[in-house]
């Protein structure tokens, strides 16, 4: 039996990456390490920000790339591979996936997050968790919650109204917890509505454990605990890394009655459970993983992540096309983000090498600009790149953001590409209009040149095999099928959160509310440069024969036919958006509620099925403190993006709206909407205001208590009328 004072040691890490062993319980230490797109195991000097080296591991595409695949099955395969590498490297818990909402393109850590939409984030994060944990290795979904910026991330108060918090920022986490059952959840640094996440009882206990049924370990982000006593009482289990003074604080609180022994024992038991599960998997683990096989999987994944934003027919390139390659990113890939998720890849493919292989000869290349601080280039690098571009049939301009532009720990100051790159592109266009821009970036950037170049290929960050994947897409070896999961604006001012990001010392107010990303663009009628869900192919697809039916659980089954009307085999991601015309609550114009993909040969067609769960039709009712499905007609639109909707249908949804008895606070309009009350209330109001339609319209917004005063009725008389009528609706 372990004494409760001895249990305290297990509620804090023994160092940066390990939970301590407990001799009395024969419990060994366990290694936890950064992910989420690769295993960052540091064997020497440890740090949290990715400065020191780690052991070689496969660097898969970060979440910004994975998300553009819209392919949960392939993402789960990546998760399986990550789990295998964790076992081979002796790691018991992989810290990821990151799944915070992309509220602004300026967030420095967007490369580690999936989407501006909770459905996409939740589905793909669930797939990754399922894959990793199938190997007996734990995951840690992060950062819980409302951690949508890096500016002052360890202190800033995220001020979010309850409905927005529930529907946008917590919904994806809830999906993962319920469906994939992650072993651990990592709390964020920031405050949530005034209380640090690590000390937020409502967040960690009431929502995470009691509502969602989470039974795993809540671990802190590294350094996110201010008081381990307050954190343990709120629902945190593990402080990483341990702070000696915090551990002493817990022991003193136990002696003084400031914390219950049961609270410490519960945290200890949950951590012990994770350690024993992981150790059972590590006991017979191999000492190596399939390096070649995982690199091949990384390449296949990267191929699915590339998004063809625009193309006038210049792509795919013919092998005999005389190309010139400009931009250091082609030779020195930007393939992952900076900070704690930096992986030491087992190998690294460059697009320049892959293009050379496909072209069958050495391709002219000029770096043109520096991609990293301190990089030295020839004084005439800019001019040399322009000269090289002049004689090419097609110029492949590799542009993007370096690690110094976006990273964990700070946000971007601008959504523009670096000025020197934009200047180089302008000079190239002046001598050769046949330019294809290939991007490397961890979040969306402004593309003022998009209508003046012949194609734009969004490469995001594609992991260690991304160079080959880009070349295959450019030359048509692979038909692109990726679609963006974050809106690309024309102007930063168009971003719905622009006026509220990143806040100041008083906090960051999520003033756009529900209108995040495409929801805000649609509501304001703002045309984006490229809408959420957009991505082109080298073939074309037609949609037809939409059918909508109600499922047994009250959801919506969507069925349609998709045909490949082009000349190449291709994959289409079909998206289903739902709106509720005439809703009684504030709604965004449409929301993604389901998606599915289909791969078709030229001329082939297939039925595509998308099931929208009833839970995904619900909105959070602050009045009822519950998820409510509004009854009525719902509109379902399916298409290739949030702005390319091909088919629309309507269906009646029964809903689950609770009976809401009228009170003295209820308005005349609310009373009139209830048939049993209509005659009573109509006569009551009419006695005061007559039958003038304008006066009746005015009176509709008056609470019954106020109306009583106008009519000379007492509140007791009005209440008696309500008491008489309300029971008929229970």
- pLDDT (tens digit, 9 = 90+) per residue, 224-283? 999 999 999 999 999 999 999 999 999 999 999 999 999 999 999 999 999 999 999 999
Q: Which is it for the CA torsion 84, 173, 117, 224, positive or negative?
A: negative
Hey, what are 478's tokens?
Answer: 């692979």
Question: Is the bond into 577 cis (omega within 30 degrees of 0)?
Answer: no
Q: 296 or 695: which carries more pLDDT confidence? A: 296
Question: How far does CA 492 lie from the centroid of its chain?
Answer: 20
Same-domain status, 402 and 436 = yes
Active site residue 615: no
Residue 337: give the domain boundaries.
296-524
Hey, what are 652's tokens?
Answer: 């009646």
Q: Taking residues 38-56, report their average pLDDT.
A: 75
Q: Contacts for 582-588 with beta carbons within 8 Å, 24 or more apart?
A: 582/632, 582/633, 583/630, 583/632, 584/630, 585/619, 585/621, 585/630, 586/513, 586/514, 587/514, 587/619, 588/514, 588/515, 588/519, 588/520, 588/522, 588/523
* CATH number of the domain that residue 583 is part of: 2.60.40.10
Same-domain status, 369 and 445 = yes
Residue pair 99/173 in contact (Cβ under 8 Å)? The answer is yes
Domain count, the chain: 3
Gap between the Cα atoms of 578 and 255, Å rounded: 56
pLDDT of residue 719: 85
Same-domain status, 515 and 577 = no
pLDDT at 121 over 80: yes
Give the count of beta carbons closer than 10 Å to the beta carbon of residue 268.
23
Q: Taking residues 524-529, report their average pLDDT.
A: 98
Same-domain status, 440 and 472 = yes
Closest C-alpha among 438, 442, 472, 474 to residue 458: 438
Gap between the Cα atoms of 248 and 239, Å rounded: 13
Same-domain status, 305 and 377 = yes
pLDDT of residue 681: 62
For residue 507, tell me if it sits in a domain.
yes
Gap between the Cα atoms of 619 and 595, Å rounded: 20
Query: What letter would DSSP give residue 317?
Result: P
pLDDT at 47 over 80: no
Could you say which of 585, 619, 653 is where a domain stops? 653
Same-domain status, 325 and 460 = yes
pLDDT of residue 277: 97
pLDDT of residue 720: 81
Q: 51 or 600: which carries more pLDDT confidence? A: 600
pLDDT of residue 679: 67
Same-domain status, 465 and 435 = yes
For residue 557, tell me if it sits in a domain.
yes
Same-domain status, 468 and 357 = yes
Confidence bin at 670 (pLDDT 50/70/90) = confident
What is the pairing mode between strands 323-326 and 365-366? parallel
Gap between the Cα atoms of 583 and 568, Å rounded: 43
pLDDT of residue 680: 63
Same-domain status, 519 and 553 = no
Residue pair 91/41 in contact (Cβ under 8 Å)? The answer is yes
Could you say which of 491, 524, 557 is where a domain stops? 524
Gap between the Cα atoms of 87 and 137, Å rounded: 7
Q: What 3-state class would DSSP assign to 319?
A: coil
Residue pair 459/439 in contact (Cβ under 8 Å)? The answer is yes
Same-domain status, 627 and 517 = no
Question: Is the bond into 8 cis (omega within 30 degrees of 0)?
Answer: no
Q: Taking residues 534-546, report their average pLDDT.
A: 98
Q: What is the pLDDT of residues 371-419, one digit of tens each?
A: 887 788 888 999 999 999 999 999 999 999 998 889 899 999 999 999 9
For residue 405, tell me if it sits in a domain.
yes
* CATH number of the domain that residue 471 is part of: 3.40.50.1700
pLDDT at 51 over 60: no
Same-domain status, 519 and 547 = no
Q: Taking residues 440-460, report their average pLDDT.
A: 98
Gap between the Cα atoms of 330 and 285, Å rounded: 38
Helix (H) or strand (E) segment spanning residue 715: helix 715-725
| Single pTM value for the model | 0.94
For residue 166, tell me if it sits in a domain.
no
Lowest average pLDDT, out of 58-67, 319-328, 650-659, goes to 650-659
Residue pair 639/591 in contact (Cβ under 8 Å)? The answer is no
pLDDT of residue 727: 72
Question: Rounded to the nearest 5 degrees, what angle is found at the Cα of 278, between the Cα atoms of 272 and 279?
Answer: 85
pLDDT of residue 229: 98
Question: Rounded to the nearest 5 degrees, what angle is found at the Cα of 598, between the Cα atoms of 597 and 600?
Answer: 155
Gap between the Cα atoms of 630 and 643, Å rounded: 25
pLDDT of residue 728: 61
Q: What is the pLDDT of residues 314-342, one digit of tens each?
A: 999 999 999 999 999 999 999 998 888 89
Q: What is the pLDDT of residues 560-589, one digit of tens each?
A: 999 999 999 999 999 999 999 999 999 999
In SS3 terms, 109-147 reads as CHHHCCCCCHHHHHHHHHHHHHHHHCCCCEEEEEEECCC
Q: Taking residues 715-719, report their average pLDDT.
A: 83
Question: Rounded to the nearest 5 degrees, what angle is found at the Cα of 311, between the Cα atoms of 307 and 316?
Answer: 80
pLDDT of residue 49: 56
For residue 275, tell me if it sits in a domain.
no
pLDDT of residue 673: 74
pLDDT at 102 over 90: yes
Q: Taking residues 344-362, report their average pLDDT.
A: 97
% of residues, the chain, pLDDT over 70: 96
Q: Taking residues 455-480, report their average pLDDT.
A: 98
Q: What is the CA radius of gyration of the chain?
A: 28
% of residues, the chain, pLDDT over 90: 84
Same-domain status, 510 and 565 = no
* Burial of 403 from C-beta contacts in 10 A (0-12 / 13-18 / 19+): middle
For residue 471, tell me if it sits in a domain.
yes
For residue 204, tell me if it sits in a domain.
no
Mean pLDDT, the chain, whole residue set:
94
In SS3 terms, 284-298 reads as CCCCCCCHHHHHHHH
pLDDT at 689 over 60: no
Q: What 3-state class would DSSP assign to 503?
A: coil
Q: Taking residues 426-454, report their average pLDDT.
A: 98
Q: What is the pLDDT of residues 490-517, one digit of tens each?
A: 999 999 999 999 999 999 999 999 999 9
Q: Which residues, at least 6 apart from 347, have a Cβ–Cβ distance to it below 8 Å?
A: 291, 295, 464
Q: Sheet containing 217-220: which strands, arranged edge to edge?
A: 18-19, 30-34, 93-95, 138-144, 184-187, 217-220
For residue 175, tell me if it sits in a domain.
no
**CA dist list (Å): 616 to 114, 559, 627:** 19, 17, 10
Q: Which is it for the CA torsion 693, 698, 704, 706, positive or negative?
A: negative
Lowest average pLDDT, out of 40-49, 76-85, 198-207, 492-501, goes to 40-49
pLDDT of residue 48: 57
Q: Taking residues 355-376, report their average pLDDT.
A: 92
pLDDT of residue 682: 59
Could you say which of 653, 680, 714 is where a domain stops? 653
Catalytic residue, from 34, 71, 152, 221: name it.
221
């Amino acid at each position: 039996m372990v004494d409760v004072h001895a249990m305290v040691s297990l509620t804090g890490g023994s160092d940066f990456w390990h939970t301590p062993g407990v001799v009395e319980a024969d419990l060994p230490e366990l290694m936890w390490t950064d992910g989420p797109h690769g295993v960052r195991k540091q064997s020497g000097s440890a740090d949290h920000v990715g400065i020191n080296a780690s052991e070689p591991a496969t660097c898969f595409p970060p979440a910004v790339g994975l998300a553009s695949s819209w392919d949960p099955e392939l993402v789960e395969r990546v998760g399986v591979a990550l789990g295998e590498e964790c076992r081979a490297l002796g790691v018991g818990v992989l810290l990821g996936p990151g799944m915070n909402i992309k509220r602004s393109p300026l967030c420095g850590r967007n490369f580690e997050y999936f989407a501006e939409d909770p459905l996409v984030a939740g589905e793909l994060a669930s797939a990754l968790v399922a894959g990793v944990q199938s190997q007996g290795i734990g995951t840690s979904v992060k950062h819980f919650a409302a951690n949508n910026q890096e500016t002052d991330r360890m202190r800033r108060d995220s001020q979010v109204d309850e409905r927005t918090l529930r529907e946008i920022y917590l919904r994806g986490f809830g999906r993962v917890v319920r469906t994939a059952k992650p072993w651990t959840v990592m709390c964020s640094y920031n405050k949530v509505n005034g209380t640090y996440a690590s000390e937020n009882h409502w967040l960690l206990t009431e929502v995470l454990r009691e509502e969602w049924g989470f039974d795993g370990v809540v671990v802190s982000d590294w350094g996110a605990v201010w008081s381990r006593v307050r954190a343990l009482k709120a629902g945190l289990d593990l402080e990483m890394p341990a702070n000696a003074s915090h551990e002493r604080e817990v022991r003193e609180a136990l002696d003084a009655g400031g914390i219950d022994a049961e609270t410490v024992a519960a945290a200890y038991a949950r951590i012990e459970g994770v350690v024993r599960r992981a150790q059972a998997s590590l006991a017979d683990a191999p000492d190596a993983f399939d390096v070649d096989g995982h690199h091949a999987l990384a390449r296949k994944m990267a191929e699915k992540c590339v998004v063809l934003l625009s193309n006038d027919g210049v792509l795919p390139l013919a092998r005999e096309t005389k190309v010139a390659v400009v931009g250091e990113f082609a030779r020195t890939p930007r393939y992952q983000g900076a900070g704690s998720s930096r992986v030491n890849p087992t190998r690294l493919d460059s697009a320049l090498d892959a293009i050379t292989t496909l072209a069958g000869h050495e391709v002219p290349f000029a770096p043109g600009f520096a991609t990293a601080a301190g990089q030295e280039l020839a004084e005439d690098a800019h001019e040399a790149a322009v000269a090289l571009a002049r004689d090419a049939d097609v110029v492949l301009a590799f542009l993007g953001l370096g690690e110094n532009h976006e990273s964990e720990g700070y946000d971007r100051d601008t959504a523009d590409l670096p000025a020197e790159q934009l200047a180089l592109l302008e000079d190239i266009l002046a001598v050769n209009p046949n330019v294809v821009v290939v991007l490397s970036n961890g979040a969306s950037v402004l593309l003022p040149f998009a209508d003046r170049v012949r194609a734009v290929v969004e490469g995001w960050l594609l992991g260690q095999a991304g160079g080959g994947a880009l070349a295959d897409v450019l030359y048509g070896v692979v038909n692109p099928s990726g679609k963006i999961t974050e809106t690309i604006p024309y102007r930063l001012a168009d971003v719905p959160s622009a006026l509220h990001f990143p806040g100041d010392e008083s906090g960051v107010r999520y003033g756009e509310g529900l209108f995040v990303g495409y929801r805000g663009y649609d509501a304001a009628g703002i045309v984006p440069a490229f809408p959420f869900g957009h991505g082109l192919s080298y073939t074309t697809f037609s949609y037809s024969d939409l059918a909508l039916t109600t499922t047994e659980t009250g959801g919506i089954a969507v069925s349609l036919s998709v045909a490949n009307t082009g000349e190449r085999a291709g994959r289409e991601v079909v998206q289903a958006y739902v709106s509720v015309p005439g809703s009684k609550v504030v709604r965004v114009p449409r929301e993604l509620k389901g998606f599915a993909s289909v791969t078709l040969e030229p001329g082939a067609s297939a039925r595509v099925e998308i099931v929208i769960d009833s839970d995904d039709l619900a909105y959070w009712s602050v009045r009822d403190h519950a998820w409510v499905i509004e009854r009525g007609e719902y509109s379902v639109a399916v298409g290739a993006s949030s702005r390319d909707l091909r088919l629309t249908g309507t269906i009646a949804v029964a809903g689950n709206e609770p009976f809401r008895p009228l009170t003295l606070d209820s308005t005349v309009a609310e009373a009139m909407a209830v048939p049993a009350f209509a005659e009573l209330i109509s006569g009551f109001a009419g006695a005061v205001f007559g039958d003038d339609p304008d006066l009746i319209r005015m009176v509709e917004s008056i609470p019954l208590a106020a109306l009583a005063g106008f009519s000379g009725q007492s509140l007791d008389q009005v209440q008696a009328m309500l008491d008489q009528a309300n029971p008929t609706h229970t």
